[in-house]
Structure 1
Amino acid sequence: MDFEQMKTQLLELLNNRTLINATISQPRQKSNELKRVKLKPIDLRGVYTIQIEYQYERILKHANVALEEFPTHLEALLEQFRQIHAEFSTEKVHIQLSKKNKVLWKSDKTAEIKQVNLSHNRKKQYLLDDATAYPFLIRLGVQTEDGKVKKQKYDKFKQINRFVEFIDDSLEYLPKDRQIRILDFGSGKSYLTFALYHYLKVEKGFNIRVTGLDLKKEVIEECNRIAQDLNYDDLEFLVGDINDFNEETAVDMVVTLHACDVATDMALARAVKWGAKVILSVPCCQHELNRQLQAPALDVMVQHGLIRERFASLATDAIRAELLSLVGYDAQLLEFIDMENTPKNILIRAYFTGKKPSEEQRAKYNAFIQFLSATPFLENELRDYLQ
């Protein structure tokens, strides 16, 4: 078999869509910074696609390539590497190339036909696999250089995966015909911001532009450096708070994590006014209702400071979810991570549906607010939308 015959036969196997995975290795030049390349088929919004993972010394890069465009990429890879291990549904193929492109082709056919898995998930329980190296997790210190989750960071890894599950559940509400605009208020060290970007951009192939906003200048500068090193071109971090951000007139997704007290309400109000299709919010430090609460019928319970604080926190999030429902969102309160890891484990998830509230729903909300003697900040912010 000569070189051209090898390419033809290999492309024929690929065109049959029987690829399970492949590794291209042994660089022709020792100076080549690209050490190996891995291939796997994925279903990208209904289109059969080859995902190419470029493995450099310290970082990984990904590209999703349509099958009809893959021959050009294969040509470039064969110029750089001399070995291919590929597994197809009915056989395993090993290809070794000499310096002058003489071909050694070995095929191990199997009687057992394997199923081609086009899912992005390596393991059912995690959307981000704990046995796969992710450049952003390595840079953020969650994984070691060889892709193992650090023992002391496993809770953070689980939190990231839980957040990615919420992102995955939200995909149907995001636009498919244009760039998706996403804002993250209070991004902090940005573990979840990077996870959001990686999952939507790299894993799912969405056209997105993400901005993280935080008040800590040093943290923002470091996050921008990491984004640049990872070639996350559509991810930026800016110094500022929710009130000062006036750069946008429309946003598709708003994420707000641990914004303190009414800062969460400011972010929720902004999201509504921007017409956000998806809102994901993990509140923090709900003091507003605690200060206002006057409900004699609850005195037996709320006379205790600890209980009063917890009740006010839960009631505040229930009020926020109900207000979002009253302005056209399908809003839910969900457990973010296990209570044993942090008490701040409630996530408000809201999808815009445009559904009009019933008079009964409005009446129940008003009765609850009157019972607590509350004047919620968010209600005042959304007054024009509650008419």
Structure 2
Amino acid sequence: MNAVDPLHADFLAQLTASVRDESFVKLTLGKPRGADATLRNLLVRPIALRGAAHLSFVWRHERQDITKNHPVGEALAALTPLIGTDFYSAHLFTTARLAQLEFNKKGEPRLTYGPATTEKVDVAHDRTKPRLLTPESQAWLEKLGVTNHAGTVREGLADKHRQIHKFVEILSHLAAEANLPTHRPIEIADMGCGKGYLTFAINDYFNHVAHRAAHVQGIESRAELVTLCNRIATETGRTQLRFVQGDIASAKLPPLDVLIALHACDTATDDAIAKGVQAGASLIVVSPCCQKELRPQLHAPAVLAPALRHGIFQERHAEFATDALRALLLEWAGYDTKVFEFISTEHTARNLMITAIKRANGEVRTDGAAARAREFAAFYGIKSQALARHFGFIL
């Protein structure tokens, strides 16, 4: 295909002009011809990012979408070599008309036109998203210093604010899946709750958003934070919420429905999981941190040795092995697990979440689940691990 073919050049000129004069609505590229067999199409639309014009590229693959945002000039430069090479179909939607550029098997272009799109241009990128917390949550957000009296997020706390709302969104889905009681208040413990940001959010979600009565207890080792959080809970009328001093390992828990422990360091995550299982929790949510215990034990296949001489790969390898084994042990203990990134690494590096929902059918400790955990441990040479010890599970 000749890159300077008049029809091809005309289409590129129309694309550039529509972006510049703001008549551009979107561009879709299809019929992929590149090396990636999983790629389906590319969707491009205008956005405003930090007050500047950008184009958002959504690369749609068979099993995932990948979004990348580019300044206008950079984006147009990137699109030019894609059209007619990596993609044989291009649809340019503008407020004036639709331009369709199609290439045949020989790479010869055909340019046709259609009516203007009725789709509205929405360049908002950082637009306000619907939140699951009610306006009443502003009272504790302000007292904990996340927002000011006007409800504006304080400088430097945007990531914290985003994390709070993202966690509540995830919690809403997990609560719908878990077999939580409806005939009595839900019993919840937040282990190692720190300043209580998420503990307050948990309380507000169940008691004020989902309208499901819940008793929420935050457990924190630092006395000054316990005092602060109890004072704010009292001042904001959150009578179902209380904070107690203690650590994860020694905490005495009543029967629970939900146990949460975010960023508990190293084996403290194992302690929290074990506490949740022992307390009969239907839902366990943890975000592990500093997975150090297994690192000295790991004996990976020889083919990995050259890579694992790098400390960062050793660290990530230990994280994977630790959290994968935790998930396998939870499955043996009668839970269905999910492991995922709960908030982008752009906002926090500690972003892995393990969730476990107790099986409603009561199926626990099957031979198959035990074998999978032992085979995994044997592959890595793991002889001992904190959660396995809590469970009395022999690796």
Q: TM-score range by the shorter chain?
A: 0.5 to 0.7
> Match of 2:356, as an amino acid?
A
Post-superposition offset of 1:207:
1.4
> Match of 2:215, as an amino acid?
R
From 140, 144, 151, give the equivalent of 1:147: 151
1:291 maps to which residue?
Answer: 296
Q: Take 1:133 and 1:286, find their aligned partners in 2: how far apart are those partners?
A: 33
1:282 maps to which residue?
Answer: 287
2:324 maps to which residue?
Answer: 318
Alignment of 1:205 onto 2:193:
no
Q: Take 1:139 and 1:207, find their aligned partners in 2: how far apart are those partners?
A: 24
Post-superposition offset of 1:127:
2.1
Contact 1:133–1:143 (Cα < 8 Å) also in 2: no
**RMSD across aligned C-alpha pairs, in angstroms?**
2.3
Q: Check 1:304–1:217 CA distance in 2 against 1; reply closer, same or farther (3 A cut).
A: same
1:367 maps to which residue?
Answer: 375
> Match of 1:150, as an amino acid?
R
Alignment of 1:377 onto 2:386:
yes
Contact 1:133–1:148 (Cα < 8 Å) also in 2: no
Identity level (%): 38
From 233, 246, 262, give the equivalent of 1:257: 262
Per-residue Cα deviation, 1:40-72 (whole angstroms, up to 9, x for no partner): xxxxxxxxxxxxxxxxxxxxxxxxxxxxxxxxx
Per-residue Cα deviation, 1:301-321 (whole angstroms, up to 9, x for no partner): 222111101110122111111
Within a 5 Å distance, the mapping from 1:25-44 to structure 2 comes to none
> Match of 2:173, as an amino acid?
D
Contact 2:259–2:281 (Cα < 8 Å) also in 1: yes
Post-superposition offset of 1:356:
4.2
Q: Take 2:181 and 2:204, find their aligned partners in 1: how far apart are those partners?
A: 18
Alignment of 1:176 onto 2:185:
no
**Count of residues paired in the alignment:** 263
Post-superposition offset of 1:243:
2.4
Q: Take 1:355 and 1:304, find their aligned partners in 2: how far apart are those partners?
A: 42
Within a 5 Å distance, the mapping from 1:1-387 to structure 2 comes to 125-128=130-133, 134-172=138-176, 173=178, 174-248=180-254, 250-297=255-302, 298-353=304-359, 354-356=362-364, 359-374=367-382, 375-383=384-392
Q: Structure 1 stretches of 5 or more lacking a match?
A: 1-122
Q: Take 2:224 and 2:364, find their aligned partners in 1: how far apart are those partners?
A: 44
Q: Take 1:242 and 1:360, find their aligned partners in 2: how far apart are those partners?
A: 31
Post-superposition offset of 1:358:
5.5
Normalised by the length of structure 1, the TM-score is 0.64
Normalised by the length of structure 2, the TM-score is 0.62
Q: Take 1:346 and 1:133, find their aligned partners in 2: how far apart are those partners?
A: 26
Q: Structure 2 stretches of 5 or more lacking a match?
A: 1-127
Q: Take 2:130 and 2:331, find their aligned partners in 1: how far apart are those partners?
A: 31
Post-superposition offset of 1:126:
3.0
